[in-house]
Amino acid sequence: MKHLKGSITALITPFKDGQIDDSAFQTLVERQIDSGVHGLVPVGTTGESATLNDEEHERVIRLCVEAAGGRVPVVAGAGSNNTAYGIAMGQRAQKIGADAILAVTGYYNRPNQAGLIAHFTALHDATELPIIIYNIPARTVVGLSVDTLAELSRLPRVVGVKDATGDLARVALQRHHCVEGFIQLSGEDMTAVGFNAMGGRGCISVVSNVTPALCAEMQNATLEEDFVTARQNQDRLAPLIDALFSDASPAPTKYALALMGLCTEEVRLPLVEASDTAKTKVCAALEELGLLN
């Protein structure tokens, strides 16, 4: 997993009449790879994993692994606030053929730092796949301290973090305290360039569902330390990023993809389709980027 870097798309899960649209999903995967993305994350938060049953969860990972065909890494969402269930999910992802798993901090239960260490250690010891820890306290309430992450980074297969704290100062601190080579990936599209400037290696991105080529170009520029080009790309993407997060994600992203003819805008309750205000912003951003006919 040392090669994990760049633009890694947190894939939506397309639905049609309430069911997973297998064909649309694999078409989206092919579009991503053709556009130069560096990796794929099926069944993460953006993939509405919370409303997929076990069979659907496995099916989406399998569809992604099959469509990717080893061309880019597949990092399967396998997070849970129930450690035993998270282990089972990780083991299923391993059996299906995912390259790594993305595991979120324990939400709702609000474990302390010792509990988080025990949770990720148990997941590590029960699977053979590399693990990317997902730190997003805005959704989970509890977050990993830098010291906790540093301790976890010493486990052989805890190889990186998806950091959605929005705190760029953490990037430098984590680089200092974690083991050498520990992978830091941004979980926030709007600060992705700044994150890499501080020492990150990429972004697990929502906006790349819509603009995979531009996101890949932006990440390639940061990896080459061409931050002038990267910033120009970020400026072009900023209105779209703002629009895609102007309502509960991934509803605005699915609306954008529906306008582009790539899937329906269906989401599962308790999510509902994007508001009219969000739709107006999405339309304007897509038009500005020349993505609407």
Q: Cite the active site residues.
A: 134, 162
Alpha helices in the chain (DSSP H): 22-34, 54-68, 83-96, 113-126, 137-140, 146-152, 169-177, 192-197, 212-223, 227-244, 251-259, 276-288
Residue found by looking up tokens 């509803």 in the block:
251
Distance CA 140, CA 142 (A): 5
Sign of the CA dihedral with 49 first, then 22, 250, and 276 last: negative
* CA atoms within 13 Å, Cβ hemisphere of 99: 21
- 273 secondary structure, DSSP code: P
Element of type H or E holding 160: strand 158-163
Over the Cα atoms of the chain, what is R_g?
Answer: 18
CA distance 106 to 82: 8
Longest Cα–Cα distance in the chain: 53
Exposure letters 142-154 (e unless 16+ CB within 10 A, then b): bbbebebbbbbbe
